[in-house]
Copies of this chain bind each other. A is one copy, B any other.
Amino acid sequence: MKKPHLFPSRYPRSLTLLLVLFTVILPARANEHHNLTHGNAAIEVVIPFAIPAIFEASPTAGDATLVLRATTLITNSWFDAVAPYHPTAVGVYSNLGRRPANESENNLNLNIALLYASYHALNSLFPHRNDDWRAMLASAGLDPDNNTTALTEPAGIGNAAGIALVAARENDGMNQLGNEGDRTYHRAPYADYTGYAPVNTAYELSDPSRWQPAMTGSNGLFKIQQFVTPQMRITRPYSYHNPKRFRARPPVKSNVRNYGAYRQQADEVLQASASMTDEQKAMAELFDNKINSLGFSAVFASFSQQLSLAEFIQYDFLTNMAAFDTAIAIWQEKARFDAVRPFSAIRYLYGDELVTAWGGPGQGTVYDLKGSEWTSYLPVADHPEYPSGSASFCAAHAEASRLFLGSDQLGYVVSVPQGSSRIEPGVTPAADIELVFPTWSDFEHNCSMSRFWSGVHFLSSLPEGEKIGNRVARYAYNFMVAKLNGD
């Protein structure tokens, strides 16, 4: 049964069109009531409302653990809300019975259920934006005060699914409520409660093998990084029990006692910094933003594969949950190795010696940069280096896509207009370019490499991240298939 789609004959082929869709077309429609009978309320209602909340906490959507937990809980709420309309599925956190097949002949009941479930997930994740979530339901013609949990109605199914999800996930180890460590007052949501402290300070690299927090900020207001959510490693996964089954090999080249290798991998980063192309810079910026890269590639694939609403929900939950479960394993390894970032190693190795490298926005490659002033093209993320988180998330996303969609074919194109760079606005790229990803393998490979080109990772960090991401994706896929089979 083919259903009408938002773009029945021409689906958006590029990120630019998706951005227009989410930032211009859909918000402008918010005053009309959404077409619940034929539309996809997940894409057309929930995502446009949720994106500002996700970007508020994380302006480049770069803090992956926080972004992934939000997107995973939202898509989980969809999955659980529509499970009763599937022939055999159960929700992850609820088993709400089975609805007759004629209730899913069109999208009406699924959309209503997923909207009410999203309302609960979003209120739990972003309680200070309750007005937005009420407006979200109202924009679809639904009553935010409808509290029914009657399992004969889609609103009741959505409410019940959302409530069960929130109850199961509010204390999953991420410290969403800020109450871990028996804290009653001055709660700080998502604060570390594991007691992580770096061995180096931003001022002194006392152990050149270990992670050093970077100084960040601008215009005189500088702050020092703190490892973001070290507790991710003890957060409850979906698709496996113990993250210890996912191990990376030790980062031997990051050990300064292996001085030759330590220097060699730093020199590789320097060389990449000196030879970055406009296309590499555009790739780096695309993959630094997890919504624009992971999120929108999934939406794109859903359009291009003409997935039904139920299929889209399965696919979007799968890719997010695969990356979320990957993050748990990767954070375990990041905390275990606590490995040095390239900027620390290069400054340590070269000090006042002059090196050849990127000289800053609009400066191109310069030949008289003091080693102590070397800076990566992308701002460095706020966690230890090894293994690469982004490489692992893209690998999980790509492998989950291949498994679900049954093919490596992708055909995603991202248009990058002249001068649209966030790091080098007005300058880069020098001419319009298109980033083309014919296959998911191309997508994950470029994602990985972009972390090296942009100077935030050493090379050996990439395959170790990819391997874990690929493996976890298979667990995640099996987990979802089991839920679809009612196990």
A343 to nearest B CB, angstroms?
A: 10
User: With A66-B219, A189-B219, A203-B197 as given contacts, are A373 and B224 in contact (CB-CB < 8 Å)?
Assistant: no
- Is A223 an interface residue, CB under 8 A from the partner? yes
Q: Of A16-24, A157-165, A362-370, which stretch is located at the interface?
A: A362-370
Interface pair B220/A226, CB less than 8 Å apart: no
Interface pair B373/A221, CB less than 8 Å apart: no
A374 neighbours in B (Cβ, 8 Å): 186
- Is A386 an interface residue, CB under 8 A from the partner? no
- Is A37 an interface residue, CB under 8 A from the partner? no
- Is A218 an interface residue, CB under 8 A from the partner? yes
1/0 per residue A349-382: CB within 8 Å of B? 0000000000110010010111001110000001
- Is A185 an interface residue, CB under 8 A from the partner? yes
A218 to nearest B CB, angstroms?
A: 7
The CA-CA distance from A222 to B226 in the complex, in Å, is 6
Q: Give A138-159 interface residues, CB cut-off 8 Å to B.
A: none
- Is A299 an interface residue, CB under 8 A from the partner? no
Total interface residues in chain A, CB < 8 Å: 46
Q: Give A195-210 interface residues, CB cut-off 8 Å to B.
A: 197, 201-204
Interface of A is mostly: loop
Task: Give the interface centre of A66, A190, A220 by most chain B CB atoms within 10 Å.
Answer: A220
Neighbour of A58 across the interface among B65, B66, B190, B221, CB < 8 A: B221
A231 nearest CB neighbor, chain B only: B220
A202 neighbours in B (Cβ, 8 Å): 224, 226
A375 nearest CB neighbor, chain B only: B186
Neighbour of A224 across the interface among B63, B219, B224, CB < 8 A: B224
Neighbour of A221 across the interface among B66, B204, B218, CB < 8 A: B66
The CA-CA distance from A222 to B223 in the complex, in Å, is 9
A274 neighbours in B (Cβ, 8 Å): none
A65 neighbours in B (Cβ, 8 Å): 220
- Is A167 an interface residue, CB under 8 A from the partner? no
Q: Give A164-215 interface residues, CB cut-off 8 Å to B.
A: 183-192, 197, 201-204, 213, 215
Interface pair B191/A220, CB less than 8 Å apart: yes
Interface pair B373/A183, CB less than 8 Å apart: yes
- Is A88 an interface residue, CB under 8 A from the partner? no
User: With A221-B63, A224-B223 as given contacts, are A373 and B185 in contact (CB-CB < 8 Å)?
Assistant: yes
Interface pair A223/B216, CB less than 8 Å apart: yes
The CA-CA distance from A47 to B89 in the complex, in Å, is 63
A225 nearest CB neighbor, chain B only: B223
User: With A184-B368, A186-B373, A363-B185 as given contacts, are A228 and B220 in contact (CB-CB < 8 Å)?
Assistant: yes
- Is A57 an interface residue, CB under 8 A from the partner? yes
A219 neighbours in B (Cβ, 8 Å): 57, 66, 189-190
A62 to nearest B CB, angstroms?
A: 10
Interface pair B226/A224, CB less than 8 Å apart: yes
Interface pair A218/B188, CB less than 8 Å apart: yes
- Is A229 an interface residue, CB under 8 A from the partner? yes
The CA-CA distance from A220 to B63 in the complex, in Å, is 9
A58 neighbours in B (Cβ, 8 Å): 221
The CA-CA distance from A382 to B224 in the complex, in Å, is 12
A213 neighbours in B (Cβ, 8 Å): 224
User: With A57-B219, A57-B221 as given contacts, are A360 and B189 in contact (CB-CB < 8 Å)?
Assistant: no
The CA-CA distance from A373 to B216 in the complex, in Å, is 26
A208 to nearest B CB, angstroms?
A: 17
Neighbour of A220 across the interface among B189, B204, B225, B359, CB < 8 A: B189
The CA-CA distance from A229 to B113 in the complex, in Å, is 54
A478 to nearest B CB, angstroms?
A: 30
A333 to nearest B CB, angstroms?
A: 20
Q: A57-B219, A186-B375, A187-B360 are in contact. List 15 more A-B contacts (CB 8 A).
A: A63-B220, A66-B221, A183-B373, A184-B369, A184-B370, A185-B370, A188-B222, A189-B219, A197-B203, A197-B204, A213-B224, A220-B228, A222-B226, A223-B226, A224-B224
Residue contacts A-B, CB under 8 angstroms, 27 given: A57-B219, A57-B221, A63-B220, A184-B368, A184-B373, A185-B359, A185-B360, A185-B363, A185-B370, A185-B373, A185-B375, A186-B359, A186-B360, A187-B360, A188-B218, A189-B218, A189-B219, A189-B220, A191-B220, A192-B222, A197-B201, A201-B201, A213-B224, A220-B228, A222-B226, A223-B226, A224-B224
